[in-house]
Structure 1
């Protein structure tokens, strides 16, 4: 990995491939928090990549799902779509190389710095292709390849609890404990 140095555009594919290589098949249950202009929102989901199925509940009570090639976002009619394309940003954290921030166009972000932080994490800093002052960060667990934190200029997502999915299909609890304090980083 290209750690602790400024990256140039020729490094983009290598960094993306190094991050992708950390990942294995995804089968997890996850709790998380996101924050945007409207406030703090909690979510809970499970995903089984080999079976191409996922389900997510939001603290608003909405329930979204994907099964047998069909996504249901609880608004509008369910419709067929590819598994990866169906993933909302909360679930896409499990596949960080699938975000549209990898420099494919000048309107996208590209990686400019990859650092080791803490005991098990990588901090990836992205810069906008047309405005170097616009930055995003993403923390990736180096043992799983999962993005545990993503901070954009108006939005943040933190995955708080990540557990391996057992053989049964979980029932997602729709009751969320209030977030009462700052979420401490576990790098």
Structure 2
């Protein structure tokens, strides 16, 4: 990876593959915080890449999952997703960064323009819109696990993964409660 300078379009085209190569965790559980305007929503997520399965439950006990080739929302099978990373809820997006349309390939989309080391174990990826340099989005990646821990885009909820537990397979656990939302200071 090239750090701390603006990436050319050719250099940008390799960032997704480099990010995927960092992934050192095959499965994990995490708490996802979604912030949109003045609302904060909490989710428990479980991901198993090898089994092509994910599960998510929110604070209301609503579930959303993909297993056995089928997506289920609140227990009802949906017909349109065909792969593990099609049609993801916002809480699960950090687990499948390849589904974001930020990797270049067309002039009106986003592309990675900079990668910076932040803190002890993280890196910040900045993406810029192809036709408007003022439109940017970011993601933070844990360099030790390869897991995306934060996704920020101006027209989507801010998503943050906390309390990541590597090595845990999908158990379909619906938490009875979540911790009270508090100010979360970054520990990069």
TM over 0.5: yes
Number of matched pairs? 186
SS in 2 for 1:83: coil
Distance in 1 of aligned mates of 2:8 and 2:142 = 23
Distance in 1 of aligned mates of 2:166 and 2:77 = 31
SS in 2 for 1:43: strand
**Counterpart check, 1:2 vs 2:25:** no
Name whichever of 136-145 and 92-101 sits farther off. 92-101
2:28 corresponds in structure 1 to 28
2:114 corresponds in structure 1 to 113
* Matched-pair contact (CA < 8 Å) for 1:26–1:94: no
* TM-score, reference length from structure 1: 0.89
Shift of 1:76: 6.6
Specify whether residues 184 and 128 from structure 1 end up closer, same or farther in structure 2 by C-alpha distance, changes over 3 A only: same
1:51 corresponds in structure 2 to 51
2:70 corresponds in structure 1 to 70
Distance in 1 of aligned mates of 2:32 and 2:56 = 11
Distance in 2 of aligned mates of 1:174 and 1:152 = 30
1:171 corresponds in structure 2 to 173
Name whichever of 117-126 and 167-176 sits farther off. 167-176
SS in 2 for 1:97: helix
SS in 2 for 1:16: helix
CA deviations over 1:103-130 (Å, ceiling 9, x no partner) = 1222321111110111110111111111
1:183 corresponds in structure 2 to 184
- 1:28-177 matched pairs, under 5 angstroms: 28-37=28-37, 39-74=39-74, 77-79=77-79, 81-154=82-155, 155-166=157-168, 169=171, 171-177=173-179
Distance in 2 of aligned mates of 1:142 and 1:55 = 24
RMSD: 2.0
More contact order relative to length (CA 8 Å, sep ≥ 6) = 2
Specify whether residues 153 and 168 from structure 1 end up closer, same or farther in structure 2 by C-alpha distance, changes over 3 A only: closer
Shift of 1:100: 1.2
Q: Specify every segment of 5 or more residues in structure 2 that has no aligned partner in the other structure, as ranges.
A: none
Distance in 2 of aligned mates of 1:186 and 1:40 = 20
